[in-house]
Amino acid sequence: MAVINENYLLIKSNYIFAEIDQRVEKYQNDNPDADIIRMGIGDVTRPLPQAVIEKFTEAVKEMGEAETFQGYGPYRGYDFLIDEIIKNDFNPLGIELSNEEIFVSDGAKCDTGNIQEIFDVTSTVAVTDPVYPVYVESNVMAGRIGPMGDDGRYDKLVYLPCTEENGFVPEIPKIPVDLIYLCYPNNPTGTVLTKEQLAKWVEYARENNSIILFDAAYEAYIQEDDIPRSIYEIEGAREVAIEFRSFSKNAGFTGTRCAYTVVPQELMGYDSEGNPHSINNLWYRRQTSKFNGVSYPIQVAASAVYSPKGQEEIRESVDYYMKNASIIRKSLKDFGLSIYGGVNSPYIWIKTPEGMDSWQFFDFLLNEAHIVGTPGVGFGPSGEGYLRLTAFNTLENTKKAMDRISKLSL
Ligand SMILES: *Cc1c(COP(=O)(O)O)cnc(C)c1O
């Protein structure tokens, strides 16, 4: 008899996106003329940069010629891409990395989901709340955080609430935790940590031999000066942090798939007797057994992101989305709502108006303005009372949506 991994039955994903689709579909059926604008999407809409397409196409052609054909690539990724990553994403920040510390992959979702495999099943895990669901669900599947209690919280998961009350800055836990997932700029709240605030986490991790799993998928959206672009800008972080980056949100690779993970050589985990082991070696071991790399044309395409033309084009796209974000921020503020994020990220986190919970505000926007957002409660218990809008729609639709909101009354 094939017995299943019962941990999968513990996942209480509330199927938030399915529920949103259902409500939107019903509304559209009942109101066929309603011009619904989707601002819940966490996916980019602008096409790949031309600089990327040119190199991508050339690389595809190379695959069709015996002289230039490429089979399996190096497990960590091609050096032509890794060299560009280090030179462009880290050296300008004063960070030195060796090629062996970079692992090119097909997505930050897979990497942030898979990384827990190399840690013990009894490890304590802390996540900010609200949170990107991947971190939580991958640990549930592994049997690390038990079933969900009646209060909607997983038994063994340490929640770090990020709310209006604490300015969306997670408080350092009073108890030692082993693994800490931090995502900055944050999805879903759109908020950031300053260098000083992030440094406290590095200090905590160093004191407790914990490891910080730092998701920097939205790094390209940072506009302000004192916001760290990489956790390795913080002194001492190399010994305690793994960083995840992605070409999805900066260069539009959500459907193309390319990302990378940084695992410094100094980073150690411990066996049950307290002996240190290189996390870089373990991750390399895991990848060589379970992963055969990202396709050659896609790695060539990703390397073109770093060409001068590629950099200019991704800057234009980010600026485009950030213009939407600032329009959303201004309109919602003028309308009298309390809003967060949208300054260093494409996400705007709205406090629901007095007396409405996340779903009620969702229905209000859908019914009254034909705008679809994402109820904050779908990202964790502390997301209740909030709703997320994204800046990923077109400028035209964003303006239209905000114009509708300005005509509403609460
Ligand atoms: C979109 C996103 C990613 C990127 O995932 P990919 O698999 O690289 O497309 C990673 N982390 C967060 C929090 C995200 O929102």
Q: What's the CATH code of the domain at 114?
A: 3.40.640.10
What range does the domain containing 17 cover? 7-47+309-406
In a domain, 129, yes or no: yes
User: What does DSSP assign to residue 168?
Assistant: T
Are both 248 and 318 inside the same structural domain? no
Are both 132 and 188 inside the same structural domain? yes
Cβ of residue 249 lying under 6 Å from some atom of ligand 1: yes
Ligand 1 mutation pick, 114, 187, 247, 257, max ligand atoms within 8 A of CB = 187
Are both 380 and 243 inside the same structural domain? no
Q: Model-level pTM?
A: 0.97
Cβ of residue 105 lying under 6 Å from some atom of ligand 1: no
Q: Of 307, 325, 351, which one is at a domain's C-terminal end?
A: 307
Ligand-binding annotation for 388, yes or no, is yes
Overall number of domains in the chain: 2
Burial pattern 14-30, b for ≥16 Cβ within 10 A else e, equals eebeeebeebbeebeee
130 neighbors 189 (Cβ within 8 angstroms): yes
Are both 156 and 246 inside the same structural domain? yes
Interval between CA 107 and ligand 1 midpoint (Å): 7
Alpha-carbon distance of 121 to 391, in angstroms, equals 38
Report the CATH number at residue 25: 3.90.1150.10
Cβ of residue 44 lying under 6 Å from some atom of ligand 1: no
Q: Which residues pair with 37 in a beta bridge?
A: 371
Q: Which candidate, 318, 81, 329, 309, places its Cα nearest to that of 217?
A: 318
255 neighbors 106 (Cβ within 8 angstroms): no
In a domain, 69, yes or no: yes
Cβ of residue 248 lying under 6 Å from some atom of ligand 1: yes
Are both 72 and 204 inside the same structural domain? yes
Are both 146 and 227 inside the same structural domain? yes
In this predicted structure, what is the pLDDT of residue 352? 98
Residue nearest to atom 2 of ligand 1 (CA): 217
The dihedrals phi and psi of 140, each to the nearest 5 degrees, come to -65, -45
Ligand 1 mutation pick, 48, 248, 374, max ligand atoms within 8 A of CB = 248
Residue nearest to atom 4 of ligand 1 (CA): 108
Are both 190 and 59 inside the same structural domain? yes
Atom of ligand 1 nearest to the CA of 247: 8
In this predicted structure, what is the pLDDT of residue 150? 83
310 neighbors 51 (Cβ within 8 angstroms): yes
List pLDDT tens digits, range 9-68: 998 766 788 899 999 999 999 999 999 999 998 899 999 999 999 999 999 999 999 999
List pLDDT tens digits, range 336-368: 999 999 999 999 999 999 889 999 999 999 999
In a domain, 2, yes or no: no
In a domain, 57, yes or no: yes
Q: Of 237, 272, 307, which one is at a domain's C-terminal end?
A: 307
In a domain, 1, yes or no: no
Are both 387 and 283 inside the same structural domain? no
Interval between CA 27 and ligand 1 midpoint (Å): 30
Are both 242 and 324 inside the same structural domain? no
Ligand-binding annotation for 132, yes or no, is yes
Residue nearest to atom 14 of ligand 1 (CA): 217
Angle subtended at Cα 44 by Cα 39 and Cα 49, rounded to the nearest 5 degrees: 150
In a domain, 375, yes or no: yes
Cβ of residue 213 lying under 6 Å from some atom of ligand 1: no
Are both 264 and 393 inside the same structural domain? no
Residues of the chain with pLDDT under 50: none
Interval between CA 104 and ligand 1 midpoint (Å): 14
In this predicted structure, what is the pLDDT of residue 151? 83
Are both 296 and 314 inside the same structural domain? no
In this predicted structure, what is the pLDDT of residue 194? 98
Ligand-binding annotation for 260, yes or no, is no
In this predicted structure, what is the pLDDT of residue 389? 98
Enter the tokens of residue 93: 């920040």
Q: Which candidate, 170, 154, 158, 139, places its Cα nearest to that of 12?
A: 154
In this predicted structure, what is the pLDDT of residue 42? 86
Q: Which candidate, 42, 30, 240, places its Cα nearest to that of 134?
A: 42
In a domain, 383, yes or no: yes
Q: Of 260, 287, 307, which one is at a domain's C-terminal end?
A: 307
